[in-house]
Amino acid sequence: MAVNNNGNLLDTSGNVAVDFVWGNFPMQPNDDRTDGTAVSVVAADASENKQWTGYSVYPSARLNPGYDSHAIAEAEWANYPSFIAAEPNYMVSAVSGDGTTVTYTCQNYFTGGETVNITGLTNNTYNLSSATVVNPTKTSFQVTNAANAGVITGQLGKVQSTTALTAADGFGINSGVPYIQVPSVIGKTTALALDALKDAGYETANITTAAGATNAASTITAVSRTGTAATITSSGAGAKYPVGTKITVASLVSPDTALNGTWTVTAVATNTVSFTTVTSGTLSTSSLSVAGLTGVAGTIKTQSTAANTASVATTATITITPFATAS
């Protein structure tokens, strides 16, 4: 079975595989970020639908803080199913400023004196860093700041506490600590890479997708395979196609046609890339000159912050670079 970004097994339709649920079933991680509208209606007597008159099928979607249950999840409440509030990570739905004080509409558990980062608001005037909370209530809080863009509603921003936590609070985005551990998005499609970065805690506005990396076909000069472990030799290939990237091998002829296809790079050297093939067998061909090695267009070649980097602030920026169309 395939797995999603969080390692959960998926069924053939791409949904989280669940054999049986007893009792409360918590919300599942989501992968495909669509708008959540119905994509089909299954008619009566469809497969495994003998007793129903029909139902709509909805794709998974990013959490929508317009729904109470989604807002709770986004606020990172702890100890499911008792819902004890974790360290603050709340949603802002409206904001106003008068030149002295900025008031945020936001269900929260702040106390006066906490420092917070406000991010993700479409009006950047009200995105503030290290602001000090004053006059908090259960539905709003204020900060002393000269920002003044009038009253804005319909916002869906995030406010996170930057007040120091104790060791008992743990670490990571799920504990409420306002830091990110950077995921690897190398080899993912641009859409899935954006999903993974957002899930890790990056704000959409802080993620930049660079113009596609040059993707001119590299000339294959030799190929080899032992078992299922294959290696392509091409000048400078190690730098062009880093570990984890998706590559396409094409135009190889017999006896090397089994190496044609799309693969994930597992190892590199200066002039070689290695990958695992579906079939096995010994191959060794040299003195080739085949312009048949490219990156898979639209998949990520590089990310500006290395995977597994820890203690990255939620206000940090990251740039991802996909391969351009092969040429």
Alpha-carbon 51 to chain mean position? 38
* 252-256 average pLDDT score: 96
pLDDT of residue 281: 95
* Beta strands 218-220; 179-180: pairing state: unpaired
User: Residue 322: which H helix or E strand, with range?
Assistant: strand 318-322
- Which CATH fold would you assign to the domain 218-296? Elongation Factor Tu (Ef-tu); domain 3 (2.40.30)
How deeply is 180 buried, as exposed, middle or buried, from its count of CB atoms within 10 A (0-12, 13-18, 19+)? buried
Q: In this predicted structure, what is the pLDDT of residue 152?
A: 87
Work out the average pLDDT over 25-51.
51
Assigned fold of 68-177: Elongation Factor Tu (Ef-tu); domain 3 (2.40.30)
Please tell me which residue, 20 or 132, carries the higher pLDDT value.
132
The Cα 314–Cα 118 span in angstroms is 10
The ranges assigned to domains in the chain are: 1-30, 68-177, 218-296
CA-CA distances (angstroms) from residue 286 to 117, 234, 256, 276, 277?
58, 11, 11, 19, 19
Q: Which long-range contacts (CB under 8 A, 24 or more apart) does 123-128 make?
A: 123/95, 123/149, 123/152, 123/155, 124/205, 125/97, 125/149, 126/95, 126/97, 126/102, 126/152, 126/155, 126/157, 127/157, 128/102
Three-state secondary structure call for residue 191: helix
Q: Please tell me the predicted confidence (pLDDT) of residue 311.
A: 76
Query: Please, what is the average pLDDT of the chain?
Result: 79
DSSP string, 289-315: -EEEEEEPTTBEEEESS-TT--SEETT
User: For position 115, what pLDDT does the model report?
Assistant: 87
Positive or negative torsion for Cα 301, 305, 310, 312: negative
pLDDT digits (tens, 9 = 90+) for 271-294: 999 999 999 999 999 999 999 999
Integer angstrom CA distances of residue 188 from 2, 60, 238, 250: 14, 18, 19, 21
Each residue of 89-114: pLDDT tens digit?
688 888 999 999 999 998 887 888 88
Do the domains 218-296 and 68-177 match in fold? Answer: yes
Tokens 């930049």 map to which residue? 208
- The verdict on pTM exceeding 0.75 is no
pLDDT grade for 260, boundaries at 50, 70 and 90: very high
Least confident of 2-6, 18-22, 304-308: 18-22
Higher pLDDT, 58 or 244: 244
Give the Cβ contact number of residue 285 at 10 Å.
19
